[in-house]
């Protein structure tokens, strides 16, 4: 059991170091998407119909 | 005085005073005790016949100890009796002319030397002594009173260094030193101390007595090893015939006494006649086995009882003899929990309220009770009797237990160690498995003690590494402000769409009707792949503003969307002011790659109550203390679970103590 705990602890620290190094965060309400190339304009970015916003 | 031969004043036979210290010699022909004062000899009376004992010594033996003692010769033997037991003390004359005593007790041997009676401070009078009393003898050290009794000079042979009148009664107290030494205060027949002896324990082999070669096969001719029970006729085999003084028949339970002086060796007297055995011992009496590397034979069993708050509790104590050293130990069984117990010098035990300390280990008081012997079976080296009562105090430091037993004139301490029943089954090759333990034993070790220690040590190591990582990443963190700005919540009448330059070569599409309050920032750089901290601040006052944020990667078109809200309400209600909400909030966006970005902001607010503006700030590479805390929680979750388990285990243990409902402790190592 001690060995298992040590291995789990090492994995946890590795995940922690990776998260800190890459800026990984716990999942939040942030959404992700891609703006089509054709809409990559100021007007497209500003358009209400294109976005649901951050809501 | 010099050595000399003289004529016995009773029978004229030769009486030899070979040691200069000898004041009395027993005539070998008529057994008169002859004292000498200068050249004058006087008969003190006839000395009774010696009672056969299991002592390995004989008058005339010589010893050449390996170290610490001068060569000596055994010149005399004094046999003493308290009425409950008889023992020998051997007068030895050392090569340098001094004398001492060779004493033995249950397979342990002591060499006692006379010392000046302590004077600063002097010992108390005999009547002022009590068992467990601690005495300070100055340069001699601290001693604990173990026993205070009266005894008589029952018999003697050879030469004695003082005038001992046969049958005379004397008072004495045995003491135990803090260094494990033994001391005796000899009061004679008056309240004041006549003599003081201090001794150290010695191993028989270290005495260098050649004549002991046949001791392991010795037979005391007056004792039989087998007999028929005079009550039921059952055949009994004695495993310790030389020391046994009481036998409880394993067939009928009758209690027998060893033959009196002059009686036939196999004629045991029936003290208590029984019709059946009072209990069935779990360990077969007479069985030999090995426990913790030591060979033992099981001699007898006691069933003991105590009453606590109206409830009767039973337990059994099995008398063992270690066959190699002839020392007596005990196996104590209660509710299926076993402990191997051995006596310890009382002088080495110090006590405080609810605490006892022995050899640096602290034992916590567990319970105190008055125990009585309810039933006996097998062989015993003392005159055990049903109904015999002692005051017992148990102190625990699992897996060990320290017990004090107080009789009227005597106190003894013993230390026990918890023994798993499987070890007993294997050691004594028992035909049947022992009953499973019930509940938690007073000194039962927590079963996960080893795991707990290992996990604790590992947890601290992991936490240390996690802390180093936290410090490293905190020092290394960029915390760079990549964007910040202040924006109107409600756009002014002259608001214009922001100019836009994609830098990508694409043609701008036709511009639809602009949303009044949507903001599109100038492009900005995020220099490294890291998390992104987004913060809003707004002067909200009993209102709110919500800003939908979209972070657009100019190169890939990837969008990350989130919301930020500022709200703050306050008032006075019934004379008490209140507030809720917060004007500033922060959120974190995961793993934003380095690149060029545009931020789209679309605020929403309560019509007519909008704050004048809101501030948005973006920072890249912000270390998170919460992640570190989460890692520590995970690290310590395992040890914490074990700690809770241990706490519950200890609570169950102490629920059986005198402190039920109060104390629980961390006694395990």
Per-residue pLDDT reduced to its tens digit, B255-298: 988 776 555 556 788 888 888 888 999 999 999 999 999 999 99
CA distance B209 to B348: 30
Q: Could you identify the residue written with the tokens 């200890």?
A: B650
Which residues of A are less than 8 Å from B502 in CB distance?
40-42
When CB atoms are compared, the residue of A19, A31, A37 closest to B627 is A19
Shortest alpha-carbon distance between residue A6 and chain B (Å): 7
Check CB contact under 8 Å for B557 and A36. yes
Q: Number of structural domains, chain B?
A: 3
Residue B158 CB neighbours (<10 A) = 22
Q: Please give the ipTM for the structure prediction.
A: 0.83
Residue B164 in any domain: the answer is yes
Q: Could you identify the residue written with the tokens 């243990």?
A: B653
**Of B634, B655, B646, B648, residue with least CA distance to B448:** B646
Residue B292 in any domain: the answer is yes
* B560 in Cβ contact with A32 (< 8 Å): yes
Kindly tell me the burial class for residue B591, based on how many C-beta atoms sit within 10 Å of its own C-beta (0-12, 13-18, 19 or more).
middle
CB of A4 less than 8 A from some CB of B: no
Does residue B334 sit in the same domain as residue B483? no
Q: Indicate the SS3 state at residue B217.
A: helix
Shortest alpha-carbon distance between residue B649 and chain A (Å): 20
CA distance B486 to B492: 14
Per-residue pLDDT reduced to its tens digit, B59-106: 889 998 877 888 999 999 999 988 777 788 999 999 888 999 999 876
CA distance B522 to B472: 34
CA distance B421 to B423: 5
pLDDT at B327: 86
Q: Residue B35 corresponds to which tokens in the numbers above?
A: 């004292």
Residue B232 in any domain: the answer is no
Residue B487 in any domain: the answer is yes
Check CB contact under 8 Å for A23 and B514. no
Check CB contact under 8 Å for B561 and A30. yes
Residue B502 in any domain: the answer is no
Q: Could you identify the residue written with the tokens 């010893």?
A: B63
pLDDT at B52: 74
pLDDT at B11: 87
Stated as kind and residue range, the H or E segment containing B414 is: strand B411-419
Residue B645 in any domain: the answer is no
pLDDT averaged over every residue in chain B = 87
pLDDT at B312: 92
Per-residue pLDDT reduced to its tens digit, B99-150: 999 998 767 789 999 999 998 888 999 999 999 999 999 888 899 999 999 9
Residue B391 in any domain: the answer is yes
Does residue B15 sit in the same domain as residue B156? yes
| CATH number, domain with residue B550 | 2.60.120.1300
0.90 surpassed by pTM: no
CA distance B28 to B293: 46
pLDDT at B2: 55
Under the banding of pLDDT at 50, 70 and 90, the label for residue B655 is very high
Once rounded to an integer, what is the mean pLDDT over residues B187-203?
A: 88
Check CB contact under 8 Å for B509 and A44. yes
pLDDT at B40: 83
CA distance B71 to B65: 6
When CB atoms are compared, the residue of B506, B592, B600 closest to A40 is B506
CB of B312 less than 8 A from some CB of A: no
pLDDT at B347: 93
Residue B385 in any domain: the answer is yes
pLDDT at B383: 83
Under the banding of pLDDT at 50, 70 and 90, the label for residue B408 is confident
Tell me the residue range of the domain where B569 lies.
Answer: 478-497+515-622
Under the banding of pLDDT at 50, 70 and 90, the label for residue B221 is very low
Among residues 16-55 of chain A, which lie with CB inside 8 Å of chain B?
A: 16-17, 19-48, 51-55
Does residue B491 sit in the same domain as residue B564? yes
Per-residue pLDDT reduced to its tens digit, B486-504: 998 876 554 444 443 333 3
When CB atoms are compared, the residue of B466, B532, B590 closest to A16 is B466
Once rounded to an integer, what is the mean pLDDT over residues B343-372?
A: 95
Query: Which residues does B483 contact at the CB level (< 8 Å), separation at least 6?
Result: B521, B524, B599, B616, B617, B618
* B377 in Cβ contact with B253 (< 8 Å): yes
* A29 in Cβ contact with B562 (< 8 Å): yes
* B113 in Cβ contact with B198 (< 8 Å): yes
Query: Which residues does B666 contact at the CB level (< 8 Å), separation at least 6?
Result: B646, B650
CA distance A37 to A40: 5
Per-residue pLDDT reduced to its tens digit, B387-406: 989 999 999 999 999 999 99
CB of A14 less than 8 A from some CB of B: no
CA distance B55 to B64: 19
pLDDT at B508: 40
Does residue B302 sit in the same domain as residue B199? no
Last residue of a domain, one of B190, B217, B244: B217
Instruction: Point out the residues of chain A with pLDDT beneath 70.
Output: 28-29, 42, 46-55
Does residue B416 sit in the same domain as residue B490? no
pLDDT at B516: 64
Does residue B282 sit in the same domain as residue B144? no
Check CB contact under 8 Å for B627 and A20. yes
Is the confidence at residue B507, as pLDDT, over 50?
no
Is the confidence at residue B412, as pLDDT, over 60?
yes
When CB atoms are compared, the residue of A13, A42, A54 closest to B462 is A13
């Amino acid at each position: 059991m001690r060995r298992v705990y040590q291995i789990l602890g090492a994995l946890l620290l590795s995940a922690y170091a990776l998260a800190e190094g890459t800026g990984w965060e716990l999942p939040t309400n942030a959404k992700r998407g891609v703006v089509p190339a054709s809409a990559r304009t100021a007007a497209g970015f500003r358009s209400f119909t294109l976005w649901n916003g951050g809501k | 005085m010099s050595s000399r031969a003289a004529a016995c004043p009773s029978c004229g036979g030769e009486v030899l005073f070979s040691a200069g210290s000898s004041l009395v010699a027993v005539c070998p022909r008529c057994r008169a005790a002859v004292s000498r004062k200068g050249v004058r000899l006087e008969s003190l009376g006839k000395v009774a016949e010696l009672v056969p004992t299991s002592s390995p010594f004989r008058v005339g033996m010589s010893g050449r100890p390996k170290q610490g003692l001068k060569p000596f010769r055994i010149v005399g033997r004094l046999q003493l009796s308290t009425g409950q037991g008889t023992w020998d003390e051997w007068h030895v004359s050392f090569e340098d002319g001094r004398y001492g005593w060779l004493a033995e007790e249950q397979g342990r041997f002591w060499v006692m030397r006379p010392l000046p009676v302590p004077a600063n401070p002097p010992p108390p009078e005999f009547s002022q002594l009590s068992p467990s009393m601690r005495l300070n003898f100055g340069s001699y050290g601290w001693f604990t009173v173990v026993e205070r009794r009266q005894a008589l000079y029952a018999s003697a042979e050879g030469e004695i260094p003082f005038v001992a009148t046969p049958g005379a009664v004397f008072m004495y107290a045995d003491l135990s030193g803090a260094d494990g030494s033994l001391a005796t205060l000899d009061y004679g027949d008056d309240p004041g101390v006549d003599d003081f002896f201090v001794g150290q324990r010695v191993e028989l082999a270290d005495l260098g007595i050649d004549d002991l070669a046949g001791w392991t096969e010795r037979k005391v001719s007056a004792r039989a090893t087998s007999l028929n029970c005079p009550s039921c006729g059952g055949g009994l085999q004695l495993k310790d015939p030389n020391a046994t003084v009481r036998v409880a028949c394993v067939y009928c339970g009758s209690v027998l006494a060893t033959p009196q002086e002059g009686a036939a060796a196999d004629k045991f007297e029936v003290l208590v006649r029984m019709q059946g055995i009072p209990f069935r011992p779990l360990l077969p009496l007479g069985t030999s086995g090995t426990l913790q590397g030591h060979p033992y034979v099981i001699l007898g069993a006691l069933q003991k009882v105590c009453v606590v708050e109206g409830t009767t509790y039973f337990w059994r104590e099995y008398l063992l003899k270690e066959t190699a050293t002839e020392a007596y130990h005990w196996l104590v069984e209660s509710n299926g929990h076993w402990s191997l117990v051995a006596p310890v010098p009382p002088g080495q035990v110090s006590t405080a309220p609810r605490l006892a300390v022995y050899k640096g280990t602290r034992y916590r008081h567990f319970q105190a009770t008055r125990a009585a012997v309810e039933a006996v079976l097998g062989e015993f080296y003392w005159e055990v009797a049903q109904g015999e009562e002692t005051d017992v105090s148990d102190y625990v430091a699992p897996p060990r237990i320290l017990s004090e037993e107080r009789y009227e004139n005597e106190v003894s301490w013993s230390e026990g160690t918890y023994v798993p029943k499987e070890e007993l089954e294997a050691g004594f090759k028992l035909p049947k498995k022992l009953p499973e333990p019930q509940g938690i034993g007073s000194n039962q070790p927590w079963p996960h003690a080893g795991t707990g220690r290992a996990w604790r040590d590992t947890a601290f190591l992991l936490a240390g590494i996690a802390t180093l990582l936290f410090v490293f990443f905190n020092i290394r963190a960029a915390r760079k402000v990549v964007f910040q700005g202040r924006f109107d919540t409600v756009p002014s009448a002259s608001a214009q769409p922001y100019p836009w330059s994609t830098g990508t070569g694409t043609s701008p599409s036709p511009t639809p009707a602009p949303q009044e309050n949507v903001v599109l920032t100038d492009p900005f750089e995020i220099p490294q792949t890291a998390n992104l901290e987004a913060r809003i601040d707004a002067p909200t006052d009993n209102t709110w503003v919500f800003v939908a944020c979209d972070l657009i990667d100019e190169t890939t078109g990837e969008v990350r969307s989130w919301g930020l809200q500022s709200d703050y309400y306050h008032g006075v209600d019934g004379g008490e002011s209140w507030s809720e909400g917060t004007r500033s909030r922060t959120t974190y966006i995961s793993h934003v790659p380095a690149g060029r970005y545009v931020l789209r902001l679309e605020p929403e607010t309560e019509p007519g109550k909008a704050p004048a503006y809101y501030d948005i700030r973006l920072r890249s590479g912000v270390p998170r203390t919460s992640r570190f805390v989460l890692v520590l929680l995970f690290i310590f979750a395992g040890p914490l679970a074990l700690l809770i388990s241990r706490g519950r285990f200890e609570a169950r243990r102490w629920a059986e103590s005198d402190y039920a409902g109060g104390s629980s402790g961390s006694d395990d190592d």
